[in-house]
Structure 1
Amino acid sequence: MTIGYGSKDKTKQKFVTGAEIFLHPQYINGKIRESMYDIAIIRIPTIQFDDATSKISIYDGPLGPNQNLMAMGWGGTEPNAIMLSMLRGVLVITGNTTSCLRYNAVYNTYDGPQICTLGELTPDHNTCGGDSGNSVVINSDNTVVLAGLNSVAVYKSDSACGSTNSAHFYVRPAYHMSFLTQSTGLTETYLTGNNGTSTNANGKANHIATVTKTVVVSPTP
């Protein structure tokens, strides 16, 4: 497995080869892949941190409905579109538990293993093919931190990217902290950076304006 880093533009990235992969032990249950455990660790050779490459801390603070997040990726901007070379970001908003359960009967809460956003809250704006595994970030104390990892989308009818009849589920790394610490040997303090408890006055994280540009995803007719 090859990992690119050091630039938002894939054509300008440096590359390393993954040495070992640690799957979450509960991800594969018989022949079923459990999306709530859709998380893995890839061990890579040591790389040098600089202005273009650094660690992102894991957000372990509160989440709830109507929370602004930024989903990022190199995926297409419509179904079957080619992958992008430049990293893009799009605003997504978390839904309430009742609405999320309509799309995923085993969905828990925002303190559980998954984060849920609803297409109806950001019409024509959402993740698309090729975005799986990419970051979903939140602004905590004016610092971009990792809230989730893009996992799976569920559609009620229209299956086009950006559909209002959809829910998107992201694995929440903070919930899987024991797996992360045991797999890496790193401490929870190091992984979170002690930055997971601050939100603004109304309990919501601030909208992030630091990602390159927003993708507008339009459903096909």
Structure 2
Amino acid sequence: MPDSPAAEFDAYAGDYDAAINRGLKFTGETKEYFAETRMRWLKDRLGAQGAHPRTCLDFGCGTGTSASLLMEGLHLEQYIGFDPSSESVAEAIKDHPHGNYSFVHEADLLPRNHFDLAFCNGVFHHIPVAARAEAFQRVYASVKPGGWFAFWENNKWNPIVHLLMSRVPFDRDAIMLFPAEAAGQMKTAGFRIVLRDYLFVFPASLKALRPLEPTLCKLPLGGQYLVLARKD
């Protein structure tokens, strides 16, 4: 991932959560709701595949907001977060002084063929288009054979997503990936696509309808999508 996005996130490292919540205000939820729902959904999807990862790479971890959720939700033994923003990594280290957490901002320090799971949420729309293939290849190299890649992204088909992202300073100029585009690049990197789901259809004002979301997860309606892939 290039230096310019890293420099941008260096500037927002101390105010990242507040900026995200300003963008999400329209949904009636905070980032915690989305993070916890993503984790439950991913745990169920991995469990259905008989996958119980013990080591996890959080690719584009930012300030480490997913670290505890991944460690506790998936019962991990090791978590390593990578982000090219040194200021974001510094915040993550400060916020996670205990436990088997590691954070790095140099991609060359990531071990190869090591992780049971690579996790990525809302990162690739910040990576310049020309650099995305290399980023996917780096994730592929870090996952062990038989390991998994859980790729979460904002759904470019959803017009509300465009509105929400326009309210976040570091998301306004981001270039999102269509789901098929993301899956295609993952396949090119070497992954086998196992499933594609869409989540977050209903805002807080319609939360009574959220039990319907599992029945709608194959329709491109939700605010985010998951592409779950495997390195065979």
Q: What is the TM-score normalised by the length of structure 2?
A: 0.27
Q: What is the TM-score normalised by the length of structure 1?
A: 0.28
Identify the structure with the greater helix proportion. 2
Identify the structure with the greater strand proportion. 1
